[in-house]
């Protein structure tokens, strides 16, 4: 089960990496329209949360330490923060298609910073899951008499 946990954690990390790529694709798409960030939205709203829940379940079944199990669900929470940042930023901007004001840009800029936290957390989950899987495959050493 520890190898499965590691495999899911790798998929989670790769999904976050793809999320950065899809954000760049949307930002550089010309002309930019509602579909520019479609892959970014699907990955962020469905793929990352699903993989985070699967990683958490796999960590629990692999009898990982409690902190690692908690860290595995953290990407789900950080995705919720991403959505909250967008909602608050849009509220500060006043909605609609008007120019985004400076206050809204300050809030919306937090989206990128939170994404860096998301990348760091998924990297930590993957690193720790790898160590857990490697420890399970090590033969037990006999005590020295």
- Strands (DSSP E) contained in 3-128 are none
Give every CB contact of residue 62 below 8 A, 6+ residues apart in sequence: 1, 2, 4, 5, 132
Is 60 exceeded by the pLDDT of residue 145?
no
User: Which residues are CB-contacts of 69 (< 8 A; sequence separation ≥ 6)?
Assistant: 56, 59, 60
The model's pLDDT over 97-135, given as tens digits with 9 standing for 90+, comes to 667 788 889 999 999 999 999 999 999 999 999 999 999
pLDDT of residue 101: 85
For the segment 30-52, the average pLDDT, to the nearest whole number, is: 94
Mean pLDDT, all residues of the chain? 92
Looking at residue 144, its pLDDT comes to: 47
pLDDT band at 141 (very low <50, low <70, confident <90, very high): low
pTM (2 decimals)? Answer: 0.89
Q: Could you identify the residue written with the tokens 């079944």?
A: 61
Where residue 32 falls among pLDDT bands split at 50, 70, 90? confident
pLDDT value at residue 143? 53
- Picking from 94, 119, 50, the residue whose alpha carbon sits closest to that of residue 111 is 119
Share of the chain above pLDDT 90, in %: 80
Q: For residue range 66-102, what is the model confidence (pLDDT) as tens digits?
A: 999 999 999 999 999 999 999 999 999 887 666 778 8
Q: What is the pLDDT of residue 105?
A: 92
């Amino acid at each position: 089960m520890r190898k499965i946990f590691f495999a899911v954690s790798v998929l989670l990390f790769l999904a976050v990496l793809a999320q950065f790529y899809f954000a760049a694709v949307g930002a550089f798409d010309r002309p930019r329209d509602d579909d520019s960030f479609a892959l970014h939205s699907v990955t962020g709203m469905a793929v990352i949360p699903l993989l985070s829940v699967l990683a958490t379940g796999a960590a629990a079944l692999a009898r990982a330490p409690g902190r690692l199990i908690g860290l595995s669900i953290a990407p789900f929470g950080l995705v919720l923060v991403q959505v909250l940042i967008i909602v608050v930023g849009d509220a500060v901007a006043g909605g609609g298609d008007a120019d985004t004001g400076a206050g809204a840009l300050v809030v919306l800029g937090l989206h990128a910073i939170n994404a860096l936290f998301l990348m760091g957390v998924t990297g930590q989950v993957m690193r720790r899951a790898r160590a857990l899987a490697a420890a399970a495959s090590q033969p037990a050493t006999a005590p020295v008499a």
